[in-house]
Amino acid sequence: MKQYYRIGIDLGGTKTEAIVLDPDDREICRKRIPTPRMGMSATCPYEAILYSVHQLILEMTALIPSGKPHTLGIGIPGMIDAETQTVHNANTTCLIGRPFQSDLEKLIGRPVRMENDANCFTLAESLQGAGRGYGLVFGIIMGTGCGGGICIDGKIRQGKHGIAGEWGHFSADPQGAECYCGNRGCVETLISGSGVESAFFRKYGKKLEMQEILRGYREGMPEMAEVFEQFLENFGRCLGGLISILDPDAVVIGGGLSNIEELYTLGIERVRHYAFHRHIKTPILKNRLGDSAGVFGAAWVGIGNSIS
């Protein structure tokens, strides 16, 4: 059986990370760079992102011993539509409608396995993180946006349309704030960092970052406390409902908001209130691999797509 080196690229909204793993999953190199965005480059953000990822691939490939087979996986903040082969449902909106996978494959002359970033996160945490040893793991990314993924016995469940686990765009409040996807009151508008910040602005006309709202809540400031309490309530209702439907063996939370300790105390209390069971025992866990889970997952999703 061949032993493959693995290259993983995690394309995020603010950072892009690359990794090279040897056949024993030992880290050879890891590198982070800012993700190009409007104002950083004279070129179109899409073209700049394409170039940036291409250069990282070339750099990582050069670190693999000559003649050794390797795989290549890339996590993106969206999905590749099976029919059009273009990106959709991406919160990095300049990717939407673009043939990112085929454009990249043309540049490097090799096949690329692309996967949703939340799926990469969930796979990594299932194999080597907080979800290890559990059969059905639901992974949540709570950061600027909100995504989800399902991993069953160490394998990503994509679903018929490739959207399995995409709870961030379930409309939990039809009268709520408009989401970029076109619906109102999506989970993402309720429990993402940007969603909570927007809720505070709508209510009080002030722009505060999530960390400022959290700090004000902890200091007992009424305005911040009201918005943060609603955030915890929304978290409980959304995740409680999801557990009622999926009944996973474990839930693992990632993204910047996963560091909010109240989620694992007050948040879990709300989840138990909304889930359709009197004694919910579902482990709701903080990730173990940190914000690098996605790049490990990207490296592992490339397995089966070898390049000699």
pLDDT at 93: 82
pLDDT at 70: 92
At 14, give phi and psi (nearest 5°): -115, -25
What's the one-letter identity of residue 50?
A: L
The parts of the chain modelled with pLDDT lower than 70 are 1-2, 38-44, 303-308
What's the one-letter identity of residue 92?
A: T
pLDDT at 76: 93
In tens, the pLDDT along 236-266 reads: 999 999 999 999 999 999 998 999 999 999 9
pLDDT at 42: 47
The pTM assigned to this predicted structure is 0.90
Question: How far from 299 is each of 87, 129, 151, 293, CA to CA, in Å?
Answer: 20, 15, 16, 10
pLDDT at 2: 59
C-alpha span between 91 and 97 (Å, rounded): 12
pLDDT at 303: 64
pLDDT at 90: 82
pLDDT at 43: 55
Environment class of 193 (CB within 10 Å of its CB; exposed 0-12, middle 13-18, buried 19+): buried
